[in-house]
Amino acid sequence: MARFPLPPRPGRRARWVATKAVYGGGGFGTAAAATVALVRLEAHLARNVIGRPFEQAPKAAGSYGRGRRGEKPLHLAVLGDSAAAGLGCERAEETPGALFAGGIARDMRRRVDLDVVAVSGARSAHLEVQVSKALRRPVDLAVVIIGANDVTHRVPVAAACRDLAKAVKRLRDAGAVVVVGTCPDLGTVKPLLQPLRTVARVLSRRLARAQTVCVVEAGGIAVSLGDLLGDMFTNEPHLWSADRFHPSADGYRQIVDAMLPSLLEHIGVDIPVSVPVSATVQDVTVAASVASREPGLAIETIEGDQGAAGQGRLARIVRRLPLVGRGAPAGPTDAAELTDADA
């Protein structure tokens, strides 16, 4: 696994970035002090929204779709923070977990048991507990969305990635296919004003790059979320939930549409609309840098000696079209039908 050097204290780095962004790297003095004060003020105001959700995400755990009688259902675990849990959705069927489970059930024609262990406010350090909960029974598929709270809580990049890599490796060692949505670009968040918006963008992209490397080296698939919704959020306010920080149901669907094709392909589902439009091989650090600037890219490990964990540290960059036009995902399975199927 790659070793990342410890970065400067995020607070110092943030103030430096903000000052450079506003004053173009000129003399500091009074102007720098004013900028630092502004960053702190903006962070205080934004903190009233970020990391302090006003409600809980709807509970989406359960069974989705219908399989053949006697066929073992797939177990999907969703881990991470409030974005993984679906905070901002009004109904359970709108959450990412339900959309992933329903989409897999629809396209595999198989029942999927969904277990959501994601927790609002979670950071990468909390994944250890979440993985333990998920692995109480065998996990076939795992989706992880994490990183935003590591940025807002100023967690060092090296520490956040070390915890994420451990989680991915435990899930992979247990036999699960693991897809990770890397840290979104927090510079698109509405409550943030300049210069804090620039600070947030720099820090979140830096974490996303490092996450991509550690996920691929641990055997997972990293999908860049980046500013996936940035332009759309600017032009289509309905993609924001009421708190203006978390996506709405429509916003979460955009995220799932971008991540689901990678998950489906790696479990053997052949769907024409999700065929990769391009695939190249690069050094994993180069691939991570590319992905941090281009949302929707999937970075995948290459098996063998030249793979991301071995000599050469190569990874595959895959661009897939968002999975749209497939119809509604399968909904929750009726309790009576589950009883009959299990019997």
- Judged on CB neighbours under 10 Å (0-12, 13-18, 19+), 131 is buried
Put the strands of the sheet holding 276-283 in their side by side order: 62-64, 112-116, 74-80, 141-145, 177-181, 221-223, 297-301, 314-320, 276-283
pLDDT at 265: 86
**Does residue 138 register a pLDDT over 90?**
yes
Active site residue 82: yes
pLDDT at 296: 78
**Does residue 142 register a pLDDT over 50?**
yes
Between 141-155, 249-263, 266-280, the lowest mean confidence (pLDDT) is in 266-280
Nearest to 150 by CA among 217, 87, 207: 207
What is the C-alpha separation between 26 and 252, in angstroms, rounded?
41
pLDDT at 19: 38
What is the C-alpha separation between 333 and 231, in angstroms, rounded?
36
Identified catalytic residue from 107, 246, 248, 262? 246
Active site residue 243: yes
Architecture of domain 47-342: 3-Layer(aba) Sandwich (3.40)
- Judged on CB neighbours under 10 Å (0-12, 13-18, 19+), 69 is exposed
What is the C-alpha separation between 171 and 189, in angstroms, rounded?
31
Between 13-27, 34-48, 124-138, the lowest mean confidence (pLDDT) is in 13-27
**Does residue 198 register a pLDDT over 60?**
yes
Regarding predicted confidence, which is higher, 280 or 50?
Answer: 280
**Does residue 196 register a pLDDT over 90?**
no
**Does residue 1 register a pLDDT over 80?**
no
208-213 mean pLDDT: 93
pLDDT at 304: 62
* Mean pLDDT across the chain: 76
Band of pLDDT at residue 29, cut at 50, 70 and 90: very low
End-to-end CA distance of the chain: 45
150-164 mean pLDDT: 94
Regarding predicted confidence, which is higher, 264 or 324?
Answer: 264
Most confident of 146-155, 272-281, 308-317: 146-155
Identified catalytic residue from 120, 243, 248, 262? 243
What's the chain's Rg over C-alpha atoms?
A: 20
pLDDT at 44: 46
Identified catalytic residue from 82, 120, 224, 292? 82
Most confident of 18-22, 86-90, 292-296, 329-333: 86-90
Nearest to 208 by CA among 234, 171, 183: 183
Nearest to 92 by CA among 249, 215, 222: 249
pLDDT above 70 as % of the chain: 65
For 225-261, the pLDDT digits (tens) are 875 555 555 555 555 555 555 677 788 888 898 899 8
pLDDT at 145: 96
For 163-172, the pLDDT digits (tens) are 999 999 999 9
DSSP state of 24: T
